[in-house]
């Protein structure tokens, strides 16, 4: 009886033990699956988080950059030219006016009526030059850069131009400037003189009105050495037949004024 009991107990014990082992394995397996799933879920969560971070990151960066740039002093002309403009203007690539070349800058300076005009032109872009030279350049930096390039070309765009325009009551200075190297104030003076002498009632720089566009006059006589003398005489005494049948009446200008006006007209491009 006791032997039978013993073997019965043993069988029972082994069964229970087996069941427990099986249960344990089952539990371990289940736990493994659950944690795997959990990992997967967390993994995708962190990927989502990364994606969100990615999406907000640029916004944050831009805001930071802007906040940083606003109080920062604008770059000097030299810096901007070195960073952006030099790519074309240092070498004359794409026919950009070359830094240091008065020949290439002066006509543009005159045609745009000075630094302000050049800044406008550069903001808008011109020909193969993209707006602002294709760079992230503020108006002020653009102005600095152009002033720098003009200075390198020996063109005084800054205080000189403004001073000359503000002080036309000093004729000696005005004449010296008109005759001298500084063509910028001369151009401003001359166009003011053309205005005050009534030339601009019949002429515009770029468009035909009653008289021919001054740019067309300049183009017609380019390379003609005797043109200044002949045109001075014509401005003074009037004439007809060159541009059509409408006559230009005699103008009330001195030799010196007529010479300045004609030289200015012929310098336009
Ligand atoms: C990709 C080449 C390139 C870059 C970069 C460039 N430019 Fe120019 N730029 C040109 C070319 C080409 C012209 C002549 C355009 C024409 O007259 O058709 C020019 C002309 C100009 C003019 C004269 C415009 C006029 O109306 O005559 C100014 C001023 C100027 N650039 C300023 C700048 C400044 C300032 C920078 C830098 C912020 C700059 N450029 C960068 C190519 C460039
Ligand atoms: C009443 C209108 C009128 C006024 C004012 C006037 N012009 Fe003219 N101008 C003309 C006409 C018209 C012509 C074309 C004459 C011709 O065909 O020969 C002309 C021609 C010219 C030419 C080119 C002459 C040539 O032979 O090619 C010049 C330079 C010129 N004007 C300068 C001036 C200047 C400088 C002033 C001011 C001092 C002035 N004009 C005032 C109407 C005018």
**What is the pLDDT averaged over residues 168-173?**
42
Ligand 1, atom nearest to 134 Cα: 5
Q: How many Å lie between the centroid of ligand 1 and the Cα of residue 208? A: 28
The domains located in the chain, with CATH, are: 77-157 (1.10.760.10), 174-267 (1.10.760.10)
**What is the pLDDT averaged over residues 131-138?**
90
180: left (phi over 0), alpha (psi -120 to 50) or beta: beta
The response to whether residue 261 sits with its C-beta less than 6 Å from ligand 2 reads yes
Q: Whose CA is nearest to atom 15 of ligand 2?
A: 240
The response to whether residue 201 sits with its C-beta less than 6 Å from ligand 2 reads yes
- pLDDT at residue 64 above 80? no
Nearest 5°: the CA angle 5, 10, 12 is: 95
- Residue 48 has a pLDDT of 61
Ligand 2, atom nearest to 220 Cα: 27
The response to whether residue 114 sits with its C-beta less than 6 Å from ligand 2 reads no
Ligand 2, atom nearest to 210 Cα: 12
Assess contact for 209 and 246: CB atoms under 8 A.
no
The response to whether residue 147 sits with its C-beta less than 6 Å from ligand 1 reads no
- Residue 43 has a pLDDT of 54
Nearest bound ligand to the CA of residue 88? 1
**What is the pLDDT averaged over residues 110-115?**
91
Is pLDDT larger for residue 38 or for residue 120?
A: 120
pLDDT interval class at 87 (50, 70, 90): confident
Ligand 1, atom nearest to 119 Cα: 29
Is pLDDT larger for residue 236 or for residue 174?
A: 236
Q: How many Å lie between the centroid of ligand 1 and the Cα of residue 233? A: 38
The distance from CA 80 to its chain's CA centroid, rounded to whole angstroms, is 10
- Residue 70 has a pLDDT of 46
- Residue 3 has a pLDDT of 62
DSSP of 209-260? SSSPPHHHHHHHTTT-TTHHHHHHHHHHH-B-SSSSSPPBPP----HHHHHH
Whole-number mean pLDDT of the chain? Answer: 80
- pLDDT at residue 50 above 80? no
- Residue 54 has a pLDDT of 58
Nearest bound ligand to the CA of residue 78? 1
Q: How many Å lie between the centroid of ligand 1 and the Cα of residue 249? A: 41
Q: Whose CA is nearest to atom 34 of ligand 2?
A: 199
Distance, CA of 139 to CA of 132 (rounded, Å): 8
**What is the pLDDT averaged over residues 224-251?**
92
**What is the pLDDT averaged over residues 81-110?**
90
- pLDDT at residue 117 above 60? yes
Q: Which mutation among 197, 211, 221 tests ligand 2's pocket best, with the greatest number of atoms within 8 A of CB?
A: 211
- Residue 184 has a pLDDT of 58
Q: How many Å lie between the centroid of ligand 1 and the Cα of residue 263? A: 26
- pLDDT at residue 146 above 90? yes
């Amino acid at each position: 009886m006791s032997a039978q009991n013993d073997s019965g107990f043993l069988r029972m014990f082994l069964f229970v033990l087996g069941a427990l082992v099986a249960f344990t394995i089952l539990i371990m397996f289940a736990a493994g699956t659950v944690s795997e799933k959990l990992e997967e879920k967390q993994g995708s969560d962190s990927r989502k988080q990364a994606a969100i971070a990615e999406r907000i990151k640029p916004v944050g960066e831009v805001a930071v950059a802007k906040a940083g740039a606003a109080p920062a002093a604008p770059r000097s002309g030299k810096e901007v030219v070195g960073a952006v403009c030099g790519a074309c203007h240092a070498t004359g690539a794409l026919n950009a006016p070359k830094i240091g070349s008065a020949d290439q800058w002066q006509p543009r300076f005159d045609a745009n009526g000075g630094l302000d005009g050049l800044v406008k032109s550069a903001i808008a872009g011109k020909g193969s030059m993209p707006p602002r030279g294709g760079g992230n350049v503020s108006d002020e930096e653009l102005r600095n850069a152009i002033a720098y390039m003009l200075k390198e070309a020996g063109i005084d765009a800054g205080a000189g131009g403004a001073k000359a325009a503000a002080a036309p009551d000093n004729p000696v200075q005005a004449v010296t400037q008109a005759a001298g190297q500084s063509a910028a104030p001369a151009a401003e003076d001359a166009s003011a003189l053309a205005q005050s002498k009534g030339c601009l009632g019949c002429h515009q720089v770029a468009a035909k009105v009653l008289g021919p566009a001054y740019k067309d006059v300049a183009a017609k006589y380019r390379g003609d050495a005797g043109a200044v003398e002949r045109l001075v005489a014509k401005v003074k005494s009037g004439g007809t037949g060159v541009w059509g049948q409408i006559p230009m009446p005699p103008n009330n200008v001195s030799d010196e004024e007529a010479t300045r006006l004609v030289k200015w007209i012929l310098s336009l491009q």
